[in-house]
A and B are shown apart, each in its own frame.
Chain A
């Protein structure tokens, strides 16, 4: 496996995880990007604990996920009451404050960050990453299909009506903020091990644009869209010539705008998944009749 292929598979999986974390909150109409700052926290925790304390991978993973979840709980109850606008701004504010803190705290390496994490062979890291990807995918899928998924839909389309029907939107928001942050923290650890470390510049506003583009391009109303958009977007950034690397942000921006204008529901929307499942059922029925 070449280094390029490794990075492609690894970053595709990491961005799918981040896409799912953002998607869960979009489902309840709260564009919360806490998973992004949790990714930053997870990555820094992983780098610091692996380099300075010599923690093994499994302990780093557990520690980073727990720390990310605990950190997300601090503002969660207040954030749960906010509407979409303030939610976006509040998430950005927290991301920016954490980034500034990381830049200015000496033990976190300042602008240069923390590097020198223990090397994990590529195939093992891919195995760990895709194991978690399947596990999280399974959880998100079952969450979508359960009564919680229906409650999420109700909140998305009419929060007041959902409350009348007994859905506690604030409580659900807190729970999803924590789950979303745990996924973010996990993605941060995988990111840190892939890069061999972490630096604050990786979690800038353009990173947030990347995450938004993944979800908007893939589709905000199903979990399947990000599986297509995450690898496609990563590839766009890496197939551009070296002297045009700045163009990737412009391409993301244009894709985002064009997609919102022509197909606001994204590449894969609910109608498409319904048609695909009906088609699959029809093919299966025809096939079983012939056999």
Chain B
């Protein structure tokens, strides 16, 4: 349970309450991880919290985008370049996005990535890999992003980069400002005319649980095979290794069986059960 010490080498203020930290280990090689996994980050003397890795695995640094919602995330968001952060991980399951180095056969399916708010952070690395794969001949990539307001959209540079490299990127907000000239509406409203082939699509969803629940159902209603839908679930996490018991969702221990889980069957059922 001893964290591995890392130093903050870069700090990016993404929005009013989201900060990205780039970390490098004090000693030893950078950990290897897959997109969708998470680390337990320690703000020394404050506490530890589970944060998804938001970088592509070959970035050379650990990238974590943190939303300031509690004591530990607040301390992490206030870290400066040069500060120490403890890292334990990587833990959990990944988005099953094949990388070139995997040598796997090209997946020709369309991939629809639906992100709500900060939910784009755990998906960012996977989208980067998917766009690269698409440029190499794999299936098309559709990135659908919903946010409460325009100022809360994260990773604007990445969204533009993905669009330039062939991904279809659509944004929508719940509430517009006077300068917003994009779409206004729920993120599910982007599904209808996105352009993916529902019968040959897999989907990666991340965001508030209600959003994932409704989006998954909307995708299934459009004809997407539920077996091809993955969601990233969240519960209270204190150890990351299956000992503390907090991250249970029914039969699942999300630090070990998740956070990325297949939607079909068990999870679809669990998500309808209140207070589970």
Q: Do A and B bind each other?
A: no
> Which residues of B approach A to under 8 Å, CB–CB?
none
